[in-house]
Structure 1
Amino acid sequence: MINDTSAPNAFAALVWPHRHAADFTASRASYITDRVRTLALALAILLPLWIPVDYLLLSFPDFVVLAGLRLGMAGLALLLYFLSPSRGGRLAGAWGRLALLMLIPFSLYVAARLQLGPADGDMLYGYAFFPVLVAAMLAVFPLTLLEGVLVGFPLLMGYAVVEGVFGAPAEPHWLGMLWLLALIVAIGVWTQLSQLRMLLDLSWRATRDPLTGALNQRSLAERLQAEHARWERYGRPLSVLAVELRSLDTVFRQHGADIANRLVAEVTEAVDRALRPTDLIGRWDDNTLIAVLPETEEAAARQLAARVREVSELASIRLSAGVTVRGEQRVAVAVPVAQENLTAFMARVVLTSGAGKAASTSAA
């Protein structure tokens, strides 16, 4: 469905992840996962490189424990790299992978603090920077304000608890470190929001029809391709509505392009209100809207088509001369059939939308 908060300058989209459109959420999940994979691979390579330094500086029992932990965490990071999907995935999965990535360096810090204890604080320099590393890593992800706080606040509280319980709470240096960590988290959250704002802007320009705010043809085709592939692979129900604005050409000739464009926007908004939150709507061409209905059998799609036709014909533009211009729409339902590829299916969808008729105008 159309989600106005995905448009540029929408503050709510920077705060709440659920205010994003479904297509942007899927893209952001892939973006987060890609960066998790990159950082996981970097950790898998870099963590073992410090082992020779620990060998020179630490006692042998401490070295054995921490070297084993470094190798184990490097292996976990490598596993995270290979098990994370290179494309696609859900946002909840991306959150989980991000949380696991953050836990790897912080767990090493906690283990070093437990193993070395407060008396060996000088030996922690190979591990003391890990909380700062975690805070800095957050800056590379396009997270909302809520997500940034939910990740950054536990990091600060975790550091305070570890230092207060296992460190030297009477010494003031860890409070300075906590303050520095809070500043880095704040800068990281600001950077996250800047990235998210840029991605929202780019996504809106790349995927939306500027007149209606619905998906443009390219983005709609990509989403339909994904749903069609899911239908082919798993046999999940799929239906498509084709809404043809039959009177648009006549409205254009009688009232001009501005009124015709306003009517298209009004009809699109009316159709969108009739759809369900899981449905997608896009503008296929000047006169045709396409709604993709995942998990919808043909009978349910026909019931929805009747409601769409009813509400779309109520959309109108009131002119200054006291004339109301209404559109006349035709709504067709199509479902894929066996052995039919996506190209043939879409050709059938567009053909079933029918030809245009005259405009419908009425005096107020």
Structure 2
Amino acid sequence: MNALNTVKMHNKLACLHAYTNLMKEKSNMTAQRNDSKAAQATGTFAQTRRTMGAIMSETLGHIIYKLQISFLELWSAKKHANSFNNTRSTYLRSRLCVLCYVWAALTVAWSLADFIFMSDTTAAAQLSLQRLVLAGVLITIGYSVYRSNNLKSAKLGLVAMVLATNAFYFSASHTLGFPTENTAFSYSYTLLPIIQIVMLTIFPLTMRESLSLMTITLVCHLWVDSFSSTMTSPDNIASYWLQTVIALMVLWSQLSQLHMILRLYRQATLDPLTGIYNRRMLLQLAMRALAISEERHSPFSVLLLDLDKFKRINDKWGHYAGDVVLQAFTRTVQERLRKSDIFGRFGGEEFIVFLPKCSGEVTAQIADRLLEEIRAMDVLIDESRTPLKVTASIGISTFQPGDTLSSLIERADGALYQAKAEGRNCIRAYQPGQQSGFDARHSVSRDNIDMPAETSL
């Protein structure tokens, strides 16, 4: 009996020991799974954090880049395109002309007030003479600016107007004897520096241009106050403070106008996808450049570029891939052109480059260089795909006596379709007797052109 009880007890202990080991093993497996899940969660969190960090870094970098570009555009005109400078010069010249004529008329009209309110008729006569001189100078400035057609003359006109009005302020203060105490009449002359700053509000100026003009007025104001020994008087300190506040408001107004004109200009003249000139602005600039070339008897050439088999890119990889290809192609071409060259999107996958001062031989060299750069492009759509290789066909035409812009483009179009007919990925220049662009399109059908291998696009 005791032996039987001993065996039963031994079996119970063995079962208990086995159960304990099983529970320990299960507990270890649960702990391992939890550790694995925790490690996986930690890894996922770390990866998410790295991804979010990269996105935030890229976004922040893009924002900083945009702010930097915006500041540079508002600070100076060096970053502005020549066509925009021409547009802004029209704004400046028209407003400057009106301001000069109105200011001249009001200056002469105020002479009557001098004789009415001044007891010293000699001083009143001197002020009237000074007003007539100022009016004559302002009318001359307005007429000179009206006759000009560039941004530099508009800027010089602004500087001349500010110098003329400040010279009148100094001479009028000298005639009044640099009064140390302002009367109701002389106080109107002390407001001239503030009026000169306020009248700059109507001009869309850059920050540097505006600060330069305001500095001229400030220096003249301080110079006049130094003669009257009232520079540190409470009234003058209050006047300086008021002038500073008004100057900041004027500066804000000028920069707002400039920013608005820049934005409207881009919307009206640039292709929204590639950022280069659209067809309307492209032809407008080309007509102006061609007229200058004819006047100076300098060469003028045209490159018409077309991406080969671009429709297949859209069909096979989607329109997003097509947009990326167009943007990469635009950057590649734009980086290899001169600042004086006119580059824009002519329509679809066709682009055009107008080359002032380029003969046919030089244009062919430029086209060769562009074609090599295009062939070397690796367009990365996303990281999971192999970079795309693209090619282009180029047609060349050079100005001949009697040509118009339409005939130049038409001949380049004919040369382009000749390049398409001869297998694409090549350059062809217009030859006398060659078909025009319209005839070439009808005699050389795209469906009849031998298609390169699928991988070459």
| Partner secondary structure for residue 233 of structure 2 | coil
2:114, 2:124 within 8 Å by CA — same for their partners in 1? yes
For residues 117 and 325 of structure 1, do their structure 2 counterparts lie closer, same or farther at Cα, with a shift above 3 Å needed?
same
Determine the C-alpha separation between the residues in 2 that align with 1:318 and 1:177: 61
Alignment counterpart, residue 71 of structure 1, candidates 106, 117, 132: 132
290-299 or 220-229: bigger deviation: 290-299
Q: CA deviation at 1:321?
A: 5.4
TM-superposed deviation, 1:68:
1.2
Q: Is the 8 A contact 1:7 1:201 kept in 2?
A: no
Give the match for residue 113 of structure 1. Answer: 173
The AA in structure 1 aligned to 2:166 is F
> Which residue pairs with 1:220 in the alignment?
282
| CA distance 1:116–1:221, shift in 2 (3 Å) | same
What is the CA-CA distance between 1:203 and the residue it aligns to? Answer: 0.8
Tell me the distance in 2 between the aligned counterparts of 1:282 and 1:24.
Answer: 15
User: 3-state DSSP class of the match of 1:139?
Assistant: helix
| Rounded Cα–Cα distance in structure 1 between residues aligned with 2:193 and 2:341 | 42
Q: Distance in 1 between matches of 2:67 and 2:97?
A: 29
Question: Cα–Cα, structure 1 residues 298 and 130, in superposed 2: closer, same or farther, change >3 Å?
Answer: farther
2:251 match: 189
Q: Give, in angstroms, the shift of residue 219 of structure 1.
A: 0.4
Superposed CA RMSD in Å reads 2.5
Matched, 1:206 2:274: no
The equivalences for 1:1-364 within 5 A come to 10-58=70-118, 59-85=120-146, 89-119=149-179, 121-122=182-183, 123-166=185-228, 168-169=230-231, 171-319=233-381, 322-354=385-417, 356=420, 357=424, 358=451, 362=455
Give distance in 2, aligned partners of 1:226 and 1:80.
27
**Whole-angstrom distance in 1 between the partners of 2:157 and 2:80:** 20
Cα 1:118/1:81, change in 2 over 3 Å: closer
Residue identity matched to 2:186:
L
Distance (Å, rounded) in 2 between the aligned partners of 1:12 and 1:220? 25
1:216-255 superposed Cα distances (whole Å, 9 cap, x missing partner): 0000011001011112223233222222212312222322
Separation in 1 of the partners of 2:85 and 2:454? 40
Is residue 238–residue 297 contact of structure 1 (8 Å, CA) maintained in 2?
yes
Q: 2: distance between equivalents of 1:164 and 1:26?
A: 41
Who is 2:446 aligned against? none
Stretches of structure 2 lacking an aligned partner (at least 5 in a row): 1-64, 425-450
> Could you list the runs of 4 or more consecutive aligned residues of structure 1 that deviate by over 3 angstroms after TM superposition?
5-9, 166-171, 319-322, 355-363
> Bigger shift: 42-51 or 346-355?
346-355
Q: Deviations over 1:173-202 (max 9, x none)?
A: 122212111111111111111111111111
Report SS of the residue matched to 1:10. helix
Write the deviation string for residues 76-135 of structure 1: whole angstroms up to 9, x where unpaired. Answer: 22222222236x733222210111122232222111111111337434234222211111
Q: Distance in 1 between matches of 2:307 and 2:281?
A: 21
Comparing 100-109 and 47-56, the one that deviates more: 100-109
Q: List alignment gaps of at least 5 residues for structure 1.
A: none
Equivalent residue pairs, number: 358
Q: Residue by residue, what CA displacement relative to the aligned partner does 1:273-302 show, whole Å, maximum 9, x if unpaired?
A: 011122221101112111222333333222
Alpha-carbon distance change, 125 to 330 in structure 1, aligned in 2, over 3 angstroms: same
Identity of aligned residues (%): 24
Describe the superposition over 1:127-169 as per-residue Cα deviations: whole angstroms up to 9, x where unpaired: 2222111111222111122222222223222211221124633
Residue aligned with 2:213, SS: helix
Partners of 1:11 and 1:359 in 2: how far apart? 47
Paired with 2:146 and 2:356, the residues of 1 have a C-alpha distance of 23
Q: Evaluate the alpha carbon distance shift between residue 6 and residue 277 of structure 1 in structure 2; reply closer, same or farther with a 3 A threshold.
A: farther
Bigger drift between 219-228 and 72-81 goes to 72-81
- Deviation string 1:316-336 (CA, Å, 9 cap, x unpaired) is 323555433222112233222
Worse-superposed segment, 282-291 or 342-351: 342-351
Alpha carbons 1:245, 1:328 under 8 Å: kept: yes
Distance in 2 between the 1:295 and 1:362 partners?
Answer: 38
1:64 CA displacement: 1.9
The normalised TM-score by structure 2 is: 0.73
Identify which of structures 1 and 2 has the higher relative contact order when contacts are C-alpha pairs closer than 8 Å and 6+ apart.
Answer: 1
What letter corresponds to residue 196 of structure 1 in structure 2? L
Once structures 1 and 2 are overlaid, which stretch shifts more, 282-291 or 329-338? 329-338
Deviates most, 111-120 or 354-363: 354-363
